[in-house]
Amino acid sequence: MSVLTVNCGSSSLKWSVVDPPETLASGTVQQVTDHAAALTEVLENAPLDELSVVAHRVVHGGERYSAPVRINEAVLASIRDLSVLAPLHNPVNADGIEVAMRALPDLPHVAVFDTAFHATLPPRAFTYAVPRAWGVRRYGFHGTSHAYVSREAARLLGKAPEDVDVIVLHLGNGASASAVQKGHSVDTSMGLTPLEGLVMGTRSGDVDPALVLHLRRTRNLSTDEIDTVLNSRSGLLALAGDNDMREVHRRIDAGDTAAELALDVYCYRIKKYVGAYLAALGGADAIAFTAGVGENDSMVRAQSLAGLERLGIEIDDARNRAGGPRISADTSAVSVLVVPTDEELEMAVQAAALV
Ligand code: ADP
């Protein structure tokens, strides 16, 4: 069954034609400002014969969607309604859906939500200690990747997903950690929005929430300005002057101490989440690194897990430099793995299963 996957990101457009587990064609359009026009062009040129279903990545599914869903007018409207929680993502996700549904009206269109895999978080993990009347909670994102990578990690251990506990570290431009117990997400580092948690390319991750008030009072920044700074001008970009980890390393090699601190803060935040999730899970069978930084950066992997031998985590330097899949020493109680993520394949599998 061949599936077209569409991923309208805030500034990019990724698509692929997948006949699970085979990827038949794929492409990425960068620096997209008009998603409708970009997608229209892709649909005119992509090999779309014999498609059975279109799978759309949608970032925020809110409380309503804990699994993929066939898209109709009401679903599309609720995806737009959720824009308040994901203003950079849900509106362009919805635009992409509209264009594709118009171009391919006879096919079923399925929304695959980034939040869905984390619908199994227990209340103690998703509840903020704030007034209940606000109706806010933690959701978590990158769920498609966390689902795929945790299953792949189990496979690499030669076990069923329900027999292992895995900590997944998705380190891309956006970054998040998750604690996956017997195949179910029980905690994750992103929250109400994708801002919470790890240090990212341009996002701060965890800060004291009073920072927002402090900025309002002392710098007279508007809500939108604070939003832009914390989402688009913080993280590695703020600390090192660049959001790309490869450039951070280049600057460190050239003696840039600000870049060195940025890397230190980035890795220390990962280490703290690993510690937290080892506690949440009561120990783990595996830690899996994935996405752009996680799959390619042996220095980040080594530094993030350095000094955790007493917790049963021992990296083998040569294996780590070689890139995995197993990068832990044979004596390490916790297996440390590098698992390339494949969000397109996972979306396709989930959409195909639904229809
Ligand atoms: P996205 O979150 O946009 O899907 P990716 O998972 O592709 O991103 O990750 C992109 C990031 O991965 C880049 O911004 C860069 O920081 C990092 N990256 C890519 N290749 C390498 C590499 N060889 N070494 C270190 N970091 C890398």
Question: Residues in the chain with pLDDT < 50?
Answer: none
Take atom 7 of ligand 1 and give the residue whose Cα is closest: 292
For residue 74, count CB atoms less than 10 angstroms from its CB and return exposed for 0-12, middle for 13-18, buried for 19 or more: exposed
Pocket test for ligand 1, best of 199, 293, 303, 339 (most atoms within 8 A of CB): 293
Residue 9: predicted pLDDT: 84
Ligand 1 centroid to Cα of residue 172, in Å, is 5
Residues across the chain? 355
Is 3-113 a domain of CATH 3.30.420.40?
yes
**Is 122 within 8 Å of 281 (Cβ atoms)?**
no
Nearest to 194 by CA among 280, 79, 132, 115: 115
Q: Residues 136-156: pLDDT tens digits? A: 999 999 999 999 999 999 999
3-113 and 159-338: identical CATH topology: yes
Ligand 1 centroid to Cα of residue 76, in Å, is 31
Q: Report long-range pairs for 8-16 (Cβ below 8 Å, ≥24 apart).
A: 8/32, 8/35, 8/39, 8/56, 8/57, 8/92, 8/93, 8/95, 8/96, 9/89, 9/92, 10/88, 10/89, 10/92, 13/38, 13/39, 13/42, 13/96, 14/344, 15/39, 15/42, 15/46, 16/344, 16/348
Class of domain 159-338: alpha beta
Pocket test for ligand 1, best of 8, 169, 296 (most atoms within 8 A of CB): 296
Catalytic residue numbers, as ranges:
114
Residue 131: predicted pLDDT: 98
Q: Which residues line ligand 1 (CB under 6 A)?
A: 172-174, 201, 244-246, 291-293, 296-297
The C-alpha atoms of residue 166 and residue 184 are separated, in whole angstroms, by: 10
Domain boundaries, the chain: 3-113, 159-338
For 26, the token pair is 């794929």
Strands 2-8 and 51-58: parallel
Give the count of beta carbons closer than 10 Å to the beta carbon of residue 117.
29
Residue 245: predicted pLDDT: 98
